Amino acid sequence: MKKETWLKSAVADITGYFGKFGYKIPPVNVTIGWTSYGKRSNAVGECWPRKAASDKRNVIFVNPNHGDSENILSTLIHELVHAVDDCEHAHGQEFRKIATDIGLEGKMRSTVPGAALSAYIERLIKKIGPYPGSLLTVVSEARAVRQTPKAKCPSCSYRASVPREMVQYGPPLCPIHGEKMEQRGDWKP
């Protein structure tokens, strides 16, 4: 089963769960992708308001470098609360009411399922299976930081930054003394 198919199955079942508490989940698009915070973010999910999408559906992103079934489902439920609210109240009182009614607890920015919701999530995993597929591991290499080429007059305290494309001509002359300035920093072209 594909991840998107698994997520759609989960949303279909969770829609019935929300209905028991009087909440209707609007049509949503759930997909795998980076949140607006980027690939280095620890955010597991994010919901976008209907006005942001051309088809006027909420869009929920699930981070591809997370793969724990329970964590994905509790995050999906959290994001579906945002969809019910159409992202209008962030994590405010309106969000809190919906979230606590369905069984989410803790700080509203990082909710956790309460006992009843945890039991439901366990039953849902048995029903649709574990979250499928592999994780996408973010590999980031340290970028080499180059020091800006600079020049300093040996006779006075005058200093200047030198554009990298000018290093081939050597250090400039001090505008006060007319002396050739000393190289500082990285002068490699």
Convert the pLDDT of each residue in 115-139 to its tens digit: 999 999 999 999 999 999 777 776 6
Burial of 32 (0-12, 13-18, 19+ CB in 10 A): middle
Residue 80 has a CB neighbour count (10 Å cut-off) of: 27
CB 24 within 8 A of CB 84: yes
Structure pTM? 0.72
Stated length of the chain: 189
162-172 tens-digit pLDDT: 998 888 888 99
Please report the DSSP string for 131-176 in residue order.
Answer: PPS-------PPPPPPPPPEEE-SSSS-EEE--GGGGGG---B-TT
Amino acid at 175: P
C-alpha to C-alpha distance for 161 and 140, rounded to whole angstroms: 30
50-88 tens-digit pLDDT: 999 999 999 999 988 888 899 999 999 999 999 999 999
Residue 50 has a CB neighbour count (10 Å cut-off) of: 16
C-alpha to C-alpha distance for 77 and 60, rounded to whole angstroms: 11
C-alpha to C-alpha distance for 96 and 83, rounded to whole angstroms: 13
